[in-house]
Amino acid sequence: MSKKRPPANTPDVLRARAEKLLAAKGPDLKKLPPVETQRLMHELQVHQIELEMQNEELRRANQELEELRFKYADLYDFAPVGYFTLDQQGLILEVNLTGARLLGMERDHLLSTPFFLLLGPEYRAVFHSHLKQAFATGIRQTCELQLATRGGPPFFVAMESLVTEDHQVHLKQCRTMVADITARKQERDALELEKRNKSLRKALGKTVLALAATTEMRDPYTTRHQRRVAKLASTLAQ
């Protein structure tokens, strides 16, 4: 990249100087002193080369920006999670291809659709609260909801939203990430169910022991008989 020249050599300044010099000396450059003519021609040639270099740099910068734009578009559209852009009323302004595939719908059909219509009635209040908190606080918000697909079963998603400002239109928009957590939620629910079952079995065992102890206090003979029967039944089962 060429070294920056002083402000005196900008195109407007050079043109003004040239026009002033021509007006003072006459329209014919041949009438100018040879040294002044050579200096002026040299400055014009150098400036022309600088402009050509700047144009080349600008062309390369535009090409790099275009390549980055395509890379960003690929990363956005084919990300493993869905990305939605929502306005303050919850209308879908943008959605990537993954988000459209999650819902089993075309991207164009989702645009300008209220996001809450994709939710079951029992989850709409949760979504409205989530969106309201995101816009009110400007802090990243998270929640779990159940979405419906067109022609498919509903599924659970984790939502993470952050409000940003679109400087082109000077409006705040909510950038929302949506990830399918159905399998993870099923595993979590299964672990929770197993935990509850263990707790119930433990409580049942304590209850049986308490009843046995009460029976033993009232009738020791019957208790010994019950123990022998239980031991025999266990042996036969094995």
Q: How many CA atoms lie within 13 A of 132 on its CB side?
A: 7
Prediction pTM value: 0.55
Q: What is the mean pLDDT of residues 122-135?
A: 94
Query: Residue 207 corresponds to which tokens in the numbers above?
Result: 């209850």
Please return the burial class of 145, using the count of CB atoms within 10 Å of its CB with bins 0-12, 13-18 and 19+: buried
Report, at the CATH architecture level, how domain 79-180 is classified.
2-Layer Sandwich (3.30)
pLDDT (0 to 100) of residue 84: 95
**Which pLDDT score is estimated for 94?**
92
pLDDT above 80: residue 216: no
Out of 43-52, 94-103, 133-142, which region has the weakest mean confidence (pLDDT)?
43-52
Cα within 13 Å of Cα(123), Cβ side: 18
The answer to whether 113 and 92 are in contact (CB under 8 A) is: yes
Confidence class of residue 114 from pLDDT cuts 50, 70 and 90?
Answer: very high
Q: Which pLDDT score, from 0 to 100, does residue 86 have?
A: 95
Q: Where are the domains of the chain?
A: 7-75, 79-180, 187-237
Alpha carbon separation from 177 to 87, 98, 141, 146, 165 (Å, rounded): 14, 11, 10, 14, 17
Residue 1 has pLDDT above 50, yes or no: no
Whether 6 shows a pLDDT value over 60: the answer reads no
